[in-house]
Structure 1
Amino acid sequence: MTTGPSNPGDDAAEDPAPTGEDLAAILTRLLEETGRTQKELAAEAGIKYPTLNAWVNRTRGTSRIDADDLRSMTEVLRLWRADVTPAQLFKAAGRRVPGPTSEEREQRLLRIYRDLPTEGQRALIQSAEAMRAASRR
């Protein structure tokens, strides 16, 4: 993943979604403001429409939404001139806002992983999954 001034994780310190506005409410509001549809957002963000529709209709929980999906929706909504930050979508989904990503750090982690024997790779994955699970609480 590349970084730059529009890196969604960089906005982690910005204000959260308005009080009481969950992901369904914020997406509904932003789609209305931009004159766009759920189907357009799903297609542009690379998310299956039924999945996005379930989030908007509150028939599927949001606490396990992939961080890349939240970032992608933010990027698309921003392209459509919506006033939204990544922090707003993460918090509205009930998620902690992840730190910014850096291609250099990602490549470093990948090099470390590739240098490990199979057991070490498995242990690294297990450790990373445990850290991710803890961060979602």
Structure 2
Amino acid sequence: MTTGQSDPGDHPHGAAEDTAHEGEDLGALITRALSDVDRTQKELATAAGVPYTTLNHWIAGRRGTSRVDPEIFRGVAQVLRGWGATVTVREIFAAVGRVVPGPSDQEREERLLRIYRALSTDRQRDLIQIAEAMGRPTVT
């Protein structure tokens, strides 16, 4: 489900980076991204934790993706982006005909921890108090 300019699965600043080629399927998207960063399918498979034959079948259109865990697609996008490809999570999901699910628990926790670490000690204490207050049951 999308809201506003970006999908919840994209990096907060990722919406401006969308470079989707309309109608591009997963095979074409991955092939383009690998070409852009001069990497191979085998390198991507290894880095993303996807069996090479599975990735190769996705690219060739010989294997469906309807039952693939969404985190696998996030991992593929993360690896490609880490290598410098201009591929977003939204593009990957669009290429397989799926809606981007919200961020995973781990992504939310990592983002919160980055924010927390960037704060001064006083602000960290304030944030803890706010979070504790939010966790208390509300009286209605």
Q: TM-score, normalised by structure 2?
A: 0.63
2:27·2:58 contact (CA, 8 Å) conserved in 1?
yes
Aligned residue pairs: how many? 99
Partner of 2:52 in structure 1? 49
1:63 aligns with 2:70: no
1:22·1:93 contact (CA, 8 Å) conserved in 2?
yes
- C-alpha change, 1:29 and 1:16, in structure 2 (3 Å) is closer
Amino acid paired to 2:23: G
Deviation at 1:101, TM superposition (A): 2.3
Q: What does 1:39-118 correspond to in 2, within 5 Å?
A: 39-103=42-106
Partners of 1:65 and 1:34 in 2: how far apart? 25
1:38 aligns with 2:52: no
- C-alpha change, 1:59 and 1:36, in structure 2 (3 Å) is same
Q: TM-score, normalised by structure 1?
A: 0.64
What are the ranges of 5 or more consecutive residues in structure 1 without an aligned counterpart?
Answer: 1-7, 107-137
What are the ranges of 5 or more consecutive residues in structure 2 without an aligned counterpart?
Answer: 1-7, 110-140
Which protein, 1 or 2, shows the higher relative CO under an 8 Å CA cutoff with sep ≥ 6? 1
- C-alpha change, 1:82 and 1:105, in structure 2 (3 Å) is closer
1:16·1:87 contact (CA, 8 Å) conserved in 2?
no
User: What CA RMSD, in Å, does the superposition of the two structures yield over aligned residues?
Assistant: 2.5
Residue 9 of structure 1 aligns to a residue in which SS? coil
